[in-house]
Structures are given as structure tokens and as C-alpha cells.
Amino acid sequence: MREFKHVFFRSIIYCLPVLSFYFYLEFRLSRLENSYSKKIKNFDSISAACDVLILGNSQMLKGVNPDLLSENAFNMAQVSQTLTVDKAILEQFINKMPSLKVVVVGVGYTSFGEKLEKGDEAWRLSFYKAHYGLSLNPTFEVKDYSYTLRYQPYEALKLCLKNFKVDLTKGYQSNGWLKMQGIDSTKLSNDWAKRRAMLHTKSLTDESIIKNKKALIDLITIATQHRVRVILVRPPVMSSYSKYLNLNWQNCNATILNAIKKETGLEVLTFNLFGKEHGFNDVDHLNEEGAKAFSDRIAEVIK
């Protein structure tokens, strides 16, 4: 018994430095503002007056400037955000938006085949739970209760080595829009477009179709029940990117959208705004100039 106690207390002593460092990380990471915490904080300040809400993935996040739609519009799109998350956000917050009149939803190539719960982007679910209060993953996840695991240990260590002097919200505006300036020439090449298109196609699964389709129909139903108009838009992409998209998936998306049109009366609005690359930051995201043109077209539809 004495030997057991000796080993036990020695183990505690050896673990103390590791535990101390872990709790230090937890404390410092909890004080670090990220895109989710900033976005929900800014949204809370305008939610009661919000009359136009933008939902979607990074194409909508970077492509729609709410200031050009309405004085009280807000962009709740986020990187890799799927239709299931869009629906959950609207369902969670619609009662906090008594002035809401329009919801603009981005529907693109990956909308129906992508699943956030699996893959390299699954870590984002914990941020939705921590900051938005959305339980998107039914299984127990330790990272939901640990900042270190939520940021991922390797990334948390890199932040620590920088003494946490990092800006995780660079470019994020108070209206939720992620402002991208200029052109990233390294991401406009044909090779980059091909790799980007293939990466997106690889992330698509047949099992996600039913869930995402249902999520979009449910989103439309929720909005309709609250007398809110839904506008579906397809964010512009460069032709160098679109030519590498899988034809079978494009046909599948078209079939789904036709079915949704028959069921809800809504069709996706497509704006081919650019014949040149000056409006794009990269092959599938708009820059500030492109966002203005895209937002102006959406504003015309709203009015």
C-alpha cells in the first residue's frame, strides 16, 4: 500500500508541469477572439433590428457586403458552413430578429454533397456549439469542453509560441462580412483552379444529399412561417475553376434544385458578373470589388 501511494504521488508530481501548462493554454485561449466569437458578438448587437440575413459558406462570407443590402443587414456565412448549419442558425436565432424580412442563402457546387461532421473541417462544430449554442454533432466530443482541443493541440501550441499575439479575425467586418482586398495571384492559376475543384469534388458524398436538401427545405419553411422571404443565389466563380467541376455532381445539383423549385417555388439566381479576374481574390472567392458588384445585384433583387 505504501509503495502504491509512493508511485501515485510521484505520478502527480510528474504530471503537475503538464497540467499547469494545459490550464495555462486553456486560460489564454479562452481570452482569444476568433471569427465565431466576434461574429456572434456583433450579431447580438444588431439582431433585434436585423432585416436581411446572409447565410452560406466562404463564397458568401467574402462575396456579400451587408452594408450594400440594408442598413441593418448581417452576414452570418462562415468558412465551410453547410446548409444544415444554415438551417440550424436560422432556427436558433429567428425569434431574436423580429424585424427580419429577407434571408439570402448561397447555393453552390458543394452545397448538397458536403458534410461538415466529417473531414478536415469537422473541428468547426465545436466552435458553433461554444459560441452559437448549436449542438450539431449528437455524439459526445471532449473538444466541446476544451479550448486546447477545440483549436487542436498543434495549433494551440503555435499560438502559444507567438505569445497569443495573433489576429484570428483579420478582415472580418462588424457586419459579419470578410473583406478580401486585391488579387491573390498565386491562387488564380489554372493549376490552382484544377486542384481546388478536385479538392471540393473529393469532399462530396452521396449520403449528404438527402440531409442537405431537407435542411434547405426546412430553412425555407421556417422562414415562410415567420413571413420572411428567401432568396437563393449562386455565388460567382471563375470559369477556370468551374470547367474542372464534376459534371455528374453538377447534374445532380441541377436535379435537386429543380425539385426544390417545384416544391417551394424558389429558384437559384445566377449572376455571371465577371469576364475578367479583377473581381476575384482567388478562383472561387470574390474580393472587395467583386463583392460590391455581387451585393449590388442582390440588392436589386431585394428591392
Cell numbers found for residue 209: 444529399
Query: What is the C-alpha radius of gyration for the chain, rounded to an integer number of angstroms?
Result: 22
Residues ≥6 apart with Cβ < 8 Å to 69: 52, 54, 104, 295, 298, 299, 302
- Using 70 as the pLDDT threshold, list the residues of the chain that sit under it: 1-15, 273-277
> What pLDDT is recorded for position 61?
98
Question: pTM of the predicted model, to two decimals?
Answer: 0.92
Report CA torsion sign: 190, 191, 194, 200: negative
| 244 HSE (CA, 13 A, CB side) | 20
CATH of the domain at 216: 3.40.50.1110
Backbone φ and ψ for 182, nearest 5 degrees, come out as 70, -160
> What pLDDT is recorded for position 278?
83
> What pLDDT is recorded for position 281?
94
> What pLDDT is recorded for position 275?
54
Number of structural domains found in the chain: 1
> What pLDDT is recorded for position 20?
83
The Cα–Cα gap between 215 and 84 comes to 5
On whether residue 16 sits in a domain, the answer given is no
Full residue range of the structural domain in which residue 77 is found = 43-118+170-302
On whether residue 285 sits in a domain, the answer given is yes
> What pLDDT is recorded for position 243?
94
On whether residue 287 sits in a domain, the answer given is yes
> What pLDDT is recorded for position 294?
95
On whether residue 27 sits in a domain, the answer given is no
> What pLDDT is recorded for position 303?
86
On whether residue 133 sits in a domain, the answer given is no
Cell numbers found for residue 179: 473583406
> What pLDDT is recorded for position 11?
63
